[in-house]
């Protein structure tokens, strides 16, 4: 591999993340490389967080977010926590300002090792999400799946956290719905010209909810940080919860989401390093570091 770059396999509450270091060079991870990495069990991922040199002065890095189908997103909460943990370990710094396609965001590693990312301000206007037709009130839009007179899922809240989200409120266990069947249909629904992340949320108290997500460009994942933020703000906005919510995700872990008075959404949770290696950003060929292999064997 002539052009190998370092990367780390990590996860954020089970959301499978590759953090790739492209600082100091102009190369980008190609969609083909992303799909090749996603197709192999060892490197199968939900998102690649590609760290590039900063573009805007005063920022720590520019982060490109790549889904497993090779498409790009403006936000990835779980991946951003992984980036913070990796860079904090490398530099000893705790506070960072990152730039993504969706703008600037601040993040930090706390003393207790938890990672907090300021996911910015949610957007609720229909053009920002975006929707393909006008809805004056996005707290509940007209969209349903199942029989017309007895829909299985209906009236989602929609929001943008830098990426599009639809949140369907359910009263049964989030596992009792066939999200693997409905997810792809709703992700590609004509109402969402840029497709959408589709979540099922069950409110369990005024300060907690269970969440399961079908991710745009990926499929079912074990957790989705930006969906957790979207679900929390939509829950607060519709009076289902207060503005501070603990979200339980399928892998069993928890994220704390706080919607501050200044409209910013803070997400706090863990990240975990699994192993490191090098990869070719053009082909996706990779190898694991020997030290990691020794530890694993």
User: Which residue in the set 20, 45, 46, 122 belongs to the binding site for ligand API (CB under 6 A)?
Assistant: 46
Distance between CA atoms of 101 and 58, rounded to whole angstroms?
A: 16
User: Which residue in the set 60, 85, 226, 248 belongs to the binding site for ligand API (CB under 6 A)?
Assistant: 226
Name the residue nearer to ligand API (CB basis): 63 or 218.
Answer: 218
Catalytic residue at 76? yes
Residue 262 annotated as lining a ligand binding site: no
Cβ-in-10-Å burial (0-12, 13-18, 19+) of 95 comes to exposed
Question: Which tokens go with 147?
Answer: 């029989």
Distance between CA atoms of 10 and 16, rounded to whole angstroms?
A: 6
* CB 288 to ligand API: min, Å: 23
| 122 is a site residue for ligand API (CB under 6 A) | no
C-alpha distances out from residue 227 to 17, 96, 200, Å: 16, 22, 10
Distance between CA atoms of 219 and 254, rounded to whole angstroms?
A: 20
* CB 68 to ligand API: min, Å: 9
Name the residue nearer to ligand API (CB basis): 68 or 138.
Answer: 68
* CB 188 to ligand API: min, Å: 13
Which residue reads 């910015």 in tokens?
120
Residue 226 annotated as lining a ligand binding site: yes
Residues 237/157, Cβ–Cβ less than 8 Å: yes
Residue 67 annotated as lining a ligand binding site: yes
For the chain, the helix, strand and coil percentages under 3-state DSSP, each to the nearest 5? 20, 35, 45
Q: Quick one: which segment of 49-57, 74-82, 141-149, 286-294 binds ligand API (CB under 6 A)?
A: 74-82
Residue 11 annotated as lining a ligand binding site: no
| 197 is a site residue for ligand API (CB under 6 A) | yes
Residue 290 backbone dihedrals phi, psi, to 5 degrees: -60, -40
Distance between CA atoms of 257 and 201, rounded to whole angstroms?
A: 14
Q: Which of 76, 82, 229, 234 is catalytic?
A: 76
Site for ligand API in 148-177 (CB under 6 A): 163
Name the residue nearer to ligand API (CB basis): 12 or 281.
Answer: 12
**Total of chain residues touching ligand API, rule CB under 6 A:** 19
Distance between CA atoms of 195 and 97, rounded to whole angstroms?
A: 28
Name the residue nearer to ligand API (CB basis): 116 or 197.
Answer: 197
CB neighbour list of residue 223: distance below 8 Å, 6 or more residues apart? 12, 13, 14, 15, 78, 213, 249, 250, 251, 253, 255
Question: Which tokens go with 31?
Answer: 């969609």
Name the residue nearer to ligand API (CB basis): 179 or 280.
Answer: 179
User: Which residue in the set 21, 99, 109, 215 belongs to the binding site for ligand API (CB under 6 A)?
Assistant: 215
**Using CB under 6 A as the criterion, which residues of the chain lie in contact with ligand API when the complex forms?**
15, 46-47, 67, 73, 75-79, 163, 197, 215-218, 224-226
Give the annotated binding-site residues for substrate.
Answer: 15, 47, 67, 77-78, 163, 197, 215-216, 225-226
Known catalytic residues are 76, 224
């Amino acid at each position: 591999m002539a052009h190998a770059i370092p990367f780390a396999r990590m996860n954020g509450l089970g959301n499978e993340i590759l953090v790739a270091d492209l600082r100091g060079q102009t190369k980008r991870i190609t969609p083909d490389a992303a799909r090749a990495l996603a197709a192999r069990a060892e490197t199968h991922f939900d998102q690649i967080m590609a760290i590039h040199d900063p573009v805007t002065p005063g920022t720590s890095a520019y982060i490109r977010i790549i889904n497993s189908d090779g498409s790009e997103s403006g936000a990835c909460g779980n991946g951003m926590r992984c980036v913070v943990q990796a860079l904090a370990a490398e530099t000893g710094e705790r506070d960072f300002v990152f730039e993504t396609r969706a703008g600037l965001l601040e993040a930090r590693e706390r003393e207790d090792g938890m990672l907090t990312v300021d996911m910015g301000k949610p957007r609720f206007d229909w053009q920002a999400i975006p929707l393909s037709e006008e809805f004056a009130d996005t707290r509940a839009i007209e969209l349903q799946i199942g029989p017309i007179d007895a829909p299985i899922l209906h009236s989602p809240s929609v929001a943008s956290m830098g990426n599009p989200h639809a949140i369907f409120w359910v009263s049964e266990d989030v596992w009792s719905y066939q999200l693997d069947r409905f997810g792809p249909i709703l992700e590609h629904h004509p109402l969402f010209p840029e497709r959408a992340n589709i979540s099922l949320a069950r409110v369990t108290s005024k300060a907690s909810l269970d969440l399961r997500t079908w991710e745009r460009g990926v499929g079912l994942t074990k957790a989705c940080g930006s969906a957790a933020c979207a679900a929390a703000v939509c829950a607060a906005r519709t009076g289902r919860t207060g503005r501070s919510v603990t979200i339980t995700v399928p892998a069993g872990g928890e994220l704390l989401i706080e919607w501050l008075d200044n409209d910013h959404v803070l997400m706090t949770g863990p990240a975990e390093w699994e192993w490191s290696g090098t990869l070719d950003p053009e082909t996706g060929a990779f190898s694991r570091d020997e030290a990691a292999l020794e530890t694993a064997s």
